[in-house]
Amino acid sequence: MRIRLTAVLVICAWLLSIHVGRASQPAVTASGAWIAEPAAGATTALGYLEIHNPTMYDVYVVGVTSDVASVIELRQGGSSGEAKVVKELTVAAFGSLTLEPGGAHMLLKELKRPLEAGDAVELTVKTDGGVSLKVTAGVR
């Protein structure tokens, strides 16, 4: 009986350590978001940001939404005309992903209002794990 009780206590301690380890893991964050000011009358704009992943698992960005655009595409590659639409962007474990001109970026399509330098745009970045990261992008 004593051995069984010891085994149960060891298993409970192990399960508790797993739960505490997951609960205290740092969160994925988004920062430094900005949108390139589109030309007057344009219906698209390019957006950029940085996503930090301090976790031990890769994170996949699977979408971005905003109230200023009907569609936001994730793209990989050069300018918006040369870039390929991708279904996801990988943020490596213990790493970060920078969406920047000439590389991975967002294409905001079907803008619902004109964007001008100084405007602030709310973006919601969605991951494959169901996490939504809210970030404010300045138009510049």
pLDDT tens for each residue of 85-139: 999 999 999 999 999 999 999 999 999 999 999 999 999 999 999 999 999 999 9
Cβ neighbors of 9 (< 8 A, separation 6 or more) are none
Question: In whole numbers, what is the pLDDT of the chain averaged over residues?
Answer: 89
What pLDDT is stored for residue 57 in this prediction?
A: 96
Residue type, 37: E
Q: Examine the pLDDT at 81 and tell me if it is beyond 90.
A: no
pTM to 2 decimal places = 0.80
pLDDT tens for each residue of 24-34: 779 999 999 99
What pLDDT is stored for residue 8 in this prediction?
A: 57
Domains of the chain: 29-139 (2.60.40.1890)
